[in-house]
Amino acid sequence: MTHFAVIDLGSNSVRMSVWSVKDDGQPVAESKVKEMVRLSEDMGAEMTLKEPAISRTIDALLRFKDTYSKLDDLTIKAYATAATRQAKNQKKFLKRVRDEVGLQIEVIPGVREAELDYVGVINTLNVQSGLIMDTGGASTELVLIQNRQMEHRISIPFGSVNLTEHFVQHDPITPGDLFRLWSSVSNVFNGIWWLREAQNLPIIALGGSNRTLAKIQRRKHHFRNFEDIHGFRMLSRNVNSVFAEVVDADVEARRAMPGLARDRADIIVAGLVPVVTMLRFIDADKIIFSQNGLREGALYEYLQGKQQAAAPDEVADETLSDFTADE
């Protein structure tokens, strides 16, 4: 029996999933851990990772090491996404991680993140067509699936943390702040020509902010395990209702809201604007939630071989290297 672990170092949280792999190739989930580190916090216009965020991240990685260092025959992959790939002091940060944790982190482009999301979703959800939307702390990945094939993908450099820092100046958010936030997100979507092909398709939602919608809804209806959201479907009218409650509340009220993690309360409004905007933009009638994305995609690539699990070569890479918010 072997072990496989994936660390996903995002802009808001760092997560690790560990599987044991039986001799017949079947994976068995052993553990999932998450820590909120806010790596992208206060990066500012100079786009540098700040010392408090770096220290929080290294401390979390050292705690992860306590777990994976005890595993026999281990293959470990560590991926860093938006905050690290945007950081001007990326090399210095990665060197500190190597020196202090002994971990080699691969910084992946947004389109690679989108590809892993696709592999994780397509191997664990029975969906034929839809728009994968993974809203993180500092980036949002979109993948158009048609007949279970990836047709288009793009990474947009905005997410719950940097949208909050740029637009949310008041608590609760004011109509003016909300309008400016919604307008900037809408303008970016307007520039993605292939989204017209996603009209009326469901959104397949990943990312902590998006998943919060499902957790709040499931708590409302007293689901026994409200966090078990994989495959859960939510109609657009219910999404809008939950979003309205979140927007109306201030931070303290959100911290007490069932299903909403306390450490996400200050960034959840901006974190939900992209998916709520997209619902209207493509006239989707529902969201299908996925708990599986990048880490599970890495697992399936490991199990099946990259050439077999990854998307077709002819799919063109697309990314937005810069995002200038409208004032």
Residue pLDDT, tens place only, 269-303: 999 999 999 999 999 999 999 999 999 999 999 99
- Structural domains of the chain sorted by starting position, each given as residue range(s) with its CATH number in brackets: 2-108 (3.30.420.40), 111-294 (3.30.420.150)
Residue 322 pLDDT > 70 = no
Read off the pLDDT of residues 107-156 as tens digits, 9 standing for 90 and up. 999 999 999 999 999 999 999 999 999 999 999 999 999 999 999 999 99
Task: List the strands of the sheet with 74-80, edge to edge.
Answer: 27-36, 13-21, 2-9, 74-80, 106-107
| Spatial contact of 293 and 117, defined as CB atoms under 8 Å apart | yes
Cα dihedral 207/213/215/217 (nearest 10): -160
Q: State how far Cα 96 lies from the chain centre.
A: 24
Task: Please state the pTM of the whole predicted model.
Answer: 0.91
pLDDT digits (tens, 9 = 90+) for 156-212: 999 999 999 999 999 999 999 999 999 999 999 999 999 999 999 999 999 999 999
What tokens were used for 180? 């400016």
